[in-house]
Structure 1
Amino acid sequence: MGRPRRIVLLRHGESEGNNDDSLYERVPDHALRLTPRGRRQAAAAGEELRAVFGEERVSAYVSPYRRTHETFGELRLAPSRVRVREEPRLREQDWGNWQDPDEVRRQKAARNAYGHFFYRFSQGESGADVYDRVGAFLESLWRSFREDDHPQNVLLVTHGLTMRLFCMRWMHWSVAEFESLSNPGNGETRTLLLGSDGRYHLDRPFERWCVPESYEMLWAGGAAGGDGRR
């Protein structure tokens, strides 16, 4: 099995929608472009990644959104060392079609109260739905590792929530752990590094905005016989 040395997750650069959410009324989410600042963020990420990858080969998967394609283009990776595929399962959480910004703001506030994993946008997906399709992609990714000559690096150009859910699925985080973490900034990366123990480790944590709730005490209290065992 040709497991890669590193799996790099990159959030797209700043998009037009990050700057002006009124655009969702007239521009499809998937068609939003990078801002000039977003292009600079992507170019800076590319400079860092070229230094990390060096002469090694890269297997890249890119969300089908315009802003992720533009981000990948700004990376300026050597075409001779990169095989790239569009991967729809790495797309943004679906919020619906043409969107009313006021309604989106209302639903985002409701999601903050209800929980990002379970809350379902009225015409779109929940975080749990994204988790399921990320899990399906992971199965495909693992099958690709069976290639003896699989590239030493995997690069996923995707979205903030998708990055967190990918790591949740890979690292077997609880829902509470996921809920306690923030998205990375535009143009930021997180990398799963293959350690000497044969396991992947996250190079740096996601920013934590609260202490995750633990259900261990609930499990212990409900254990048969009350002996505290799970």
Structure 2
Amino acid sequence: MARPRRIVLIRHGESEGNIDDTVYEREPDHALSLTPTGLLQAEVAGARMRALFGDERVSAYVSPYRRTHQTFQALGLDPSRVRVREEPRLREQDWGNWQDRDDVRRQKAYRDAYGHFFYRFAQGESGADVYDRVGSFLESLWRSFEDPGHPPNVLIITHGLTMRLFCTRWFHWTVAEFESLSNPGNAVSRELLLGADGRYSLDRPFEHWCTPESYGATG
């Protein structure tokens, strides 16, 4: 099994929806583009990625959303060294279709009170649904490591909540731990690094907005 030395997760750059939530009434979430600031963020991240990967090969997976594809393109990686695949299981949490701004704001407030993992948007998904499809992707990813020629680097371009749930699933964090984590900023990355003991560790922790709640023993 050729496990990669590093797995890099990166959130898309700033999108139109990050600065104006009324856009969801006119444009589908998956079709939103990067802002000029988001494009610059992705280009800056690209300089870091190119320095990180050097001349090594990369296996890249990109959420099917326009803003994640634009982020990947703006990274400016050498196409001769990158094998890229679109991966729908890495998409953003589904909120529904064209959305009423006030209704979405109400539901987000409900989600904050109810919990991001269990709250289900009326026409979309819960965090638990995203967790399940991320788990399905991880099974496919692990099977890809069976190829002895697998690249030494994996790059995943996705969304903030999906990044947190990817790490929750990978490291077997509790739901309470997930709930305490903040999303990374736009075009901010995290790395899973393979250690000498064969285990992966996170290069730096996610920021916490609260202390994880402890439920005690369960039976």
Q: Give the aligned partner of residue 83 of structure 2.
A: 83
Mark the runs of 5 or more structure 2 residues left unpaired by the alignment. Answer: none
The residue that corresponds to 1:181 in the other structure is 181
Q: Which residue of 1 aligns with 2:163?
A: 163
Q: What amino acid is the match of 1:43? A: E
Give yes or no for the alignment of 1:135 onto 2:143.
no
Superposition deviation, residue 215 in structure 1: 2.2
User: Which aligned runs of 4 or more in structure 1 are off by greater than 2 angstroms?
Assistant: none
2: distance between equivalents of 1:101 and 1:60?
A: 34
1:54-133 correspondence runs (5 A): 54-133=54-133
How many residues are paired up? 219
The question of 1:12 aligning with 2:12 is answered yes
Residue by residue over 1:98-117, the C-alpha shift from the partner in whole angstroms, topping out at 9 and shown as x without a partner, is 00111110000000000000
1:80 is paired with a residue whose SS is coil
Structure 1 gap segments, 5+ residues each: 223-230
Q: In structure 1, what is the Cα distance between the partners aligned to 2:135 and 2:38?
A: 28
Deviation string 1:192-222 (CA, Å, 9 cap, x unpaired) is 0001110000000000011111122x44xx7
Computing the radius of gyration from Cα coordinates, the structure with the larger value is 1
Deviations 1:134-184 (A, max 9, x none): 000000000000000100000000000000000000000000000000000
Indicate the residue corresponding to 1:49 in structure 2: 49
For residues 97 and 192 of structure 2, what CA distance do their matches in structure 1 show?
33
Offset, 1:69? 0.2
CA–CA separation in structure 2 for the residues paired with 1:195 and 1:102: 47
SS of 2:183's partner is coil
